[in-house]
Amino acid sequence: MALSMLVIAALVGTRELGQEVFTSLSQGQPGPGITAGLCVACIALIADALLKSGAARAARHQGEAHA
């Protein structure tokens, strides 16, 4: 959800990775746009893996506390 906000924020004028995607694709430069888009996707995959790991650790810890 936060990463989708990154791309939406690019539309209102911030100067971050989402802006790079938007600017590159609107100027017809698919190379930099795809590169920036892949960076956004990689960040999403890393964040997902970290959150899943943290949730699994918390669930194990909570299970041990109730046992």
pLDDT tens digits, residue range 17-38?
777 877 888 899 989 888 888 8
> Which tokens is 2 given?
């936060």
Q: In residues, how long is the chain?
A: 67
Output the pTM of the full model: 0.66
Q: Which structural domain range is residue 11 located in?
A: 2-66
Residues 6+ apart with CB under 8 A from 36: 17, 20, 21, 24
Domain total in the chain: 1
Average pLDDT score over residue span 58-62: 88
Distance CA 16, CA 66 (A): 44
